[in-house]
């Protein structure tokens, strides 16, 4: 693992610096004037008062820092709630592999940050045939929740 992190750090140095994420199909990419650390704090604070919960977190930059390696900040937040999981699984057992749905906070080279995510409708689309209207409805509900959380967290 340490060799992989060192290789990643070298690749980032060769590339020059962190690059902001670009929009892509099924993604929402929100630029923020906040620093990476402030965006992470904002996501945590917004979720505390929202209809969803952080159930997982991972950060390659935090792991690299523990090994004395500096890479641009990144943190993945897995968001979900047990009642959403039960509804999802009742509609499509296979869709369970997609939960929790993630928000991705990244540090930009200019000191700002980006918050990105795949929309729940995009994530669950491959399962709509088997999951039917129940899964489509859940995905649409989650689309609204993720939009609210992301926009509130990136607001100045």
pLDDT (0 to 100) of residue 38: 98
Contact by Cβ (8 Å): 101, 123: yes
Q: Which of 1-5, 35-39, 51-55 has the lowest mean pLDDT?
A: 1-5
- Residue bearing the bigger pLDDT, 155 or 23: 155
pLDDT (0 to 100) of residue 19: 61
pLDDT (0 to 100) of residue 41: 98
Measure the CA–CA gap between 103 and 94, rounded to whole angstroms: 21
Q: pLDDT digits over 79-99, tens only?
A: 999 999 999 999 999 999 999
Which of 116, 118, 107, 99 lies closest to 56 in space, CA to CA?
99
For residue 14, tell me if it sits in a domain. no
Domain extent at residue 133:
23-154
pLDDT (0 to 100) of residue 6: 54
Q: pLDDT digits over 97-154, tens only?
A: 999 999 999 999 999 999 999 999 999 999 999 999 999 999 999 999 999 999 999 9
pLDDT (0 to 100) of residue 131: 98
- Angle (CA) 46 52 53, round 5°: 80
Per the structure, how many domains does the chain have? 1
For residue 90, tell me if it sits in a domain. yes
Mean pLDDT of the chain: 91
Q: Which two tokens stand for residue 51?
A: 């209809």
Q: Looking at the predicted structure, is the pLDDT value of residue 15 above 50?
A: no
Most distant CA atoms of the chain, gap in Å: 49
For residue 16, tell me if it sits in a domain. no
Task: Report the CATH number at residue 79.
Answer: 3.30.310.70
For residue 59, tell me if it sits in a domain. yes
pLDDT (0 to 100) of residue 16: 43
For residue 13, tell me if it sits in a domain. no
pLDDT (0 to 100) of residue 53: 97
pLDDT (0 to 100) of residue 21: 78
For residue 128, tell me if it sits in a domain. yes
- Residue bearing the bigger pLDDT, 9 or 149: 149
Which of 127, 28, 126, 34 lies closest to 73 in space, CA to CA?
34
């Amino acid at each position: 693992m340490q060799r992989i992190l060192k290789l990643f750090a070298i690749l980032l140095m060769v590339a020059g610096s962190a690059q902001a994420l670009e929009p892509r199909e099924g993604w929402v990419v929100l630029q923020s004037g906040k620093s990476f650390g402030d965006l992470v704090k904002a996501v945590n604070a917004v979720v505390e008062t929202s209809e969803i919960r952080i159930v997982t977190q991972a950060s390659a930059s935090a792991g690299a820092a523990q090994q004395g390696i500096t890479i641009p900040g990144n943190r993945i937040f897995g968001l979900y709630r047990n009642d959403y999981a039960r509804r999802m699984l009742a509609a499509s057992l296979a869709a369970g592999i997609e939960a929790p749905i993630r928000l991705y906070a990244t540090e930009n080279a200019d000191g700002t940050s980006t918050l990105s995510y795949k929309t729940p409708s995009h994530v669950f689309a491959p399962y709509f045939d088997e999951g039917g209207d129940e899964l489509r409805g859940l995905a649409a509900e989650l689309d609204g929740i993720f939009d609210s959380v992301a926009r509130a967290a990136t607001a100045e």
